Structure 1
Amino acid sequence: MAFSNVIPLSLLLAMCMNMAGAVNPGFVVRLTQKGLDYARQEGMSVLQRELAKVHIPDFSGSTHSPIGKIKYNFYGMAIRNFQLPISQISPVPNVGLKLSISGAFIEISGKWKIKTRIGIQFNGGFDVKVEGISISVGLKLGSDGAGRPTIAPSDCSCHISNVNVHISGKFGYTSDHSNVNKKIPQNISPQICPLVKNAITSKLAPLLQTLPVTAKIDKVAAIDYSLTGPPPVTAEYVDVQLKGEFFELSHHTPPPFTPPSLSLPADHNLMIYFGISDYLFNTAGFVYHSAGKLIFNVTDNMIPKDFSIRLNTSSFGTLIPQLAKMYPDMLMKLEITSTSAPFLDIKPGNVTISPKMDIQAYVILPNASLAPAFLLNVTTNALAKVAVSSGRIVGSLELSRVQMDLKHSDVGPFSVALLNAAVNYYISHILLPQVNDILQKGYPLPLLDHLQLTDVVIEPRQNFLLFGANVHYGITESNWSVELF
């Protein structure tokens, strides 16, 4: 046909729309096969309890026996044991997961009675072992409108390979067991898949809904942890891609930059890996800077008494004589303001931040009003240490360099170098502890309820932090802490 090699217009438009809508995640949670196996182990106990709810109805009938035609009744059947000894879960690329159970068996006890044509009755008990039960169920992964992960059962099949019956009683019902062998599987098999599906939708699906898609930090900001789409699945892992973006609570304004691509290494030693893009941290800087919250004040009462350079015109007058002449014996105040949103630079081996600040010096007049004295432009460089503690990303800064320039002076020209010792002290001993106190409060990780992390390892990669961990599901609160470097 003439148009056989031409891409239909609708398909081309769809491709363009998909490409335009593709957004890199700011946060990736990778579940490895080891993690899937742990989830399977935890889930098997729940599934086993659900499958033990199988109901086996009474059944009766008639058959021929050595003593003639008899009517039989099997009743009061109850499951004594239901075991799922062999199970595995496997990723199905581009679809979801497949749960396979084999070698399962059920042990059942019940009662029987028979009645002959002449009215003689016999009764006793019986035990049945239903063996070789295999179950296969598909699990489709997705995301809902709120950005939470979803899981839903798809195809499900069940097969029973063998039934062993042992009947006891006063005379022992020793006739052909074919009716029991047929009836028991016929009653059990149709119930298995509905119970499995119900366990998934009623137990597992609600657990996934506990993933926090919004984590409020304070009165200013929160983190958007919503999924960017259905989790990508490969033959080796499941990736849960999250937006990973700070936003201001008063209004959600997108930052003027986009997340870089994240390429997590093919590590499989731990159950779960997190790729935390520098985008997450940098949107934090953008939000707090835009909200005008990166402003810190330093006053004389904040300076330790053993430091010689006090924050007053008398002390500063030894460095700037004209200041003391204009404002004799008055207290001062420094207002430190971030001039731009601070950006974290993550590279293999280290994490740094180079915030730029203005330091406006004021003289506090006798009437408590402020008189501007001078304005400094300060560029700093700090090493960032990142840690994970009790489900939160925490951090601290270590100052490595401070560079100053005089932007404006209201007290005449002077050498900025003279202020170097004082400004370095104020930044290192007063400003930095304030910042580190905030960073130590940290940001919550997107974790399911009651999920604890152990064996945590952290390392910086290009544009993101990679940390891996094993997981434990339980209600006991953990206080583990691991620090980078």
Structure 2
Amino acid sequence: MELVCRLTLAFSLALFVGATNAVNPGFVVRLTQKGLDYARQEGMSVLQQELSKIHLPDFSGSTKKQHIKFKYSFNSMVIRSFQLPTSQISLVPNVGLKLSISGAFIQVDGKWKVHSKILSGKGNFDLKVEGLSISVGLQLGSDASGRPTISPSDCSCHISDVKIHVSGKFSWLVDVFHKSIDNALRKDIEGKICPVVTQSISSKLQPLLQTLPVTAKIDSVAAIDYSLTGPPPVTAQSLDVQLKGEFFNIAHRTPPPFSPPTLSLPADPGLMVYFGVSDYLFNTAGFVYQSAGKIESYITDDMIPKNFSVHLNTSSFGILIPMLSKMYPNMLMKLKISTPSAPFLTIEPGNLTTSPIMEIQAYVILPNSTLAPLFLLNLTTTIMVKVSVNSGRIVGDLELSRIEMELVHSDIGPFSVGVLNTAVNYYISSILLPEVNEILQRGYPLPLLDHIQLTDVIIKPSEHFLLFGANVQYG
């Protein structure tokens, strides 16, 4: 059913993504300090692996001691362990993030060789780098396509202490010039850490952010624009990623005749991530499909269960409207359901409703298969909307709460619409909405980065927006 597909999109997908030329975002993703700490933990394991791959080149030098010139070399150096026990990520208001690592230490194995005119020696050594600290500034932004970007703005590294232990013949010689060796190793290691850190950000983290799509094609009619409206705002408590959030017509994009309201997410640090979903999203979906003439459907007699008392034929309806069976005896009927205006979602604290105005045009199917108009009804409805999240997908359910009917026009003479109340209620609640709900239960994905799963999901309808909160698992 055409209407089923369109209503499904209007009642579900629009709840997540949808605002070109909008001053306010239609969709906000908020990362709390708890969420950033989780991301830091996941990132530290990756960074530790990358730092462990640092290649330390051979180095050599010479020094004099008591007029004797010694030449030394250190080679075959391999990092056996690189530990990052303590790290912290901080929000820097109006700038981005600051990653701080302290108390890190490195263990290195290698070979040494010393030579002079009077003696020479060689052996193995192990090196311990202690009190390593790293500080990295992370600048957040958005690229021309509307995807988020992250880049290192600064990086510094400092080593507090270097300890070396040597073994082999004449190993005591190393103690003669250990200060030169310590300084050389310290300088070499410090010079290699920041390039690895910045490269890891560019090669590991930035590609992950690029997995956020900026346009999602829904069908041949509509697509969703959820590109960033600009660089993510950062406060001392949270980081907000603001998305445009707007459905648009693929063939002809027209700005909706309304704007998104201001989203004011509550300051709740209890979960890792929060999604603020404006009611503007639904309304742009309804606007697009209504403008394209796609929110309509037909109900025929073969769609009605045999045990229901009022079937779509003139015999059944003739009991309610006697004139109908006299004018068109023993003929099948057909109902066209459409909406003269776009459906509008209202989100209030604790409540989601939509009150679409529907029109039902009744036809009789003549023996030559043409349609003859019978009457036109105007329906004012209230539909309760329930949503939940399952495996990172939004699922929904619609329930008819209220329906009022008005006879707009009749080709079979006047009659009281009250006699049709039972039949119309049944057609809407038991035929149309179950078809929509079946599709809604399949769910539609939230705009998540690759490999992200949500847990401990809470849902809270607020004024003009729907608040989703969740913890995150990556993997």
TM-score range, shorter chain: over 0.9
2:335–2:362: 8 Å Cα contact kept in structure 1?
yes
Report if the CA contact (8 A) 1:56-1:77 is conserved: yes
C-alpha deviations, 1:72-107, integer Å up to 9, x for none?
Answer: 221111111111111101010000000111111111
Matched with 1:260 is 261
The one-letter amino acid paired with 1:170 is K
- What displacement does 1:173 show? 3.1
- Look up the equivalent residue of 2:137 and give its one-letter code: G
TM-score of the superposed pair, with normalisation by structure 1: 0.91
* 1:54-453 equivalences in 2 (<5 Å): 54-64=54-64, 69-118=69-118, 120-174=119-173, 175-176=175-176, 177-453=178-454
Letter in 2 for 1:184: L
CA contact (8 A) 1:55 1:188 kept: no
AA aligned opposite 1:293: K
Confirm or deny: 8 A CA contact 2:22 2:259 kept in the other structure: no
> Deviation digits for residues 200-234 of structure 1, max 9, x if unmatched?
11111111111121122222222111001110000
- Does the CA-based 8 Å contact 1:212-1:447 persist in structure 2? no
Alpha-carbon shift at residue 57 of structure 1 (Å): 1.9
Distance 2:454 2:330 in 1: 57
Map Cα deviations across residues 125-156 of structure 1 (whole Å, 9 max, x no partner).
Answer: 00110111111111000011111001110111
In structure 2, what is the Cα distance between the partners aligned to 1:168 and 1:197?
Answer: 36
**Partners in 2 of 1:61 and 1:450 — Cα distance?**
49
CA shift digits 1:53-73 (9 cap, x unpaired): 322222223335689543222
> Contact 2:22 / 2:260 at 8 angstroms: preserved in 1?
no
Q: Which stretches of structure 1, 4 residues or longer, exceed 6 Å deviation after superposition?
A: none
Offset at residue 392 of structure 1 (A):
2.5
Q: How far has the Cα of 1:311 moved from its partner?
A: 0.5
In 2, Cα distance between the equivalents of 1:66 and 1:128?
Answer: 27
CA distance in 2, matches of 1:67, 1:131: 33
Deviations 1:387-410 (A, max 9, x none): 122322221111111110100000
Q: Which has the higher contact order (CA 8 A, sep 6+)?
A: 2
Q: Distance in 2 between matches of 1:438 and 1:290?
A: 23
Q: Gapped runs of 5+ residues in structure 1?
A: 1-20, 475-485
In structure 1, how many angstroms separate the alpha carbons of the residues matched to 2:338 and 2:88? Answer: 57
> Is 2:5 aligned against 1:29?
no
CA distance in 2, matches of 1:389, 1:290: 32
Gaps of 5+ in 2: 1-20
Q: Distance in 2 between matches of 1:220 and 1:312?
A: 34
Using the alignment, how far apart are the partners of 2:33 and 2:261 within structure 1?
A: 26
Partners of 2:350 and 2:61 lie apart in 1 by 77
- The separation in 2 between residues aligned to 1:309 and 1:357, in whole angstroms, is 20
Q: Is the 8 A contact 2:120 2:170 kept in 1?
A: no
Q: Secondary structure at the match of 1:418?
A: helix
**Could you tell me which amino acid in structure 2 is paired with residue 62 of structure 1?**
S
TM-score (norm 2): 0.93
Provide the secondary structure at the position in 2 that maps to 1:270.
coil
Looking at structure 2, the residues matched to 221 and 181 of structure 1 have their Cα atoms a distance apart, in angstroms, of: 65
Instruction: Answer whether contact 1:63 1:69 (CA < 8 A) is retained.
Output: yes
Q: Percent identity of the aligned residues?
A: 71
Give the structure 2 partner of residue 13 of structure 1.
none
Amino acid at match of 1:357: M
C-alpha contact (below 8 Å) 1:213/1:446 kept by paired residues = no
> Which residue type is aligned with residue 218 of structure 1?
D
| Shift of residue 116, structure 1, vs aligned partner | 3.2
C-alpha distance in 1, partners of 2:134/2:86? 10
Count the aligned residue pairs.
453
Q: 1:243–1:402: structure 2 CA closer, same or farther, 3 Å change rule?
A: same
Task: Name the Cα RMSD after superposition.
Answer: 1.5
Residues in 1 aligned to 2:66 and 2:122: alpha-carbon distance in whole angstroms: 16
What is the distance in 2 between the residues matched to 1:74 and 1:201? 32
**Counterparts of 1:46 and 1:446, CA distance in 2:** 24
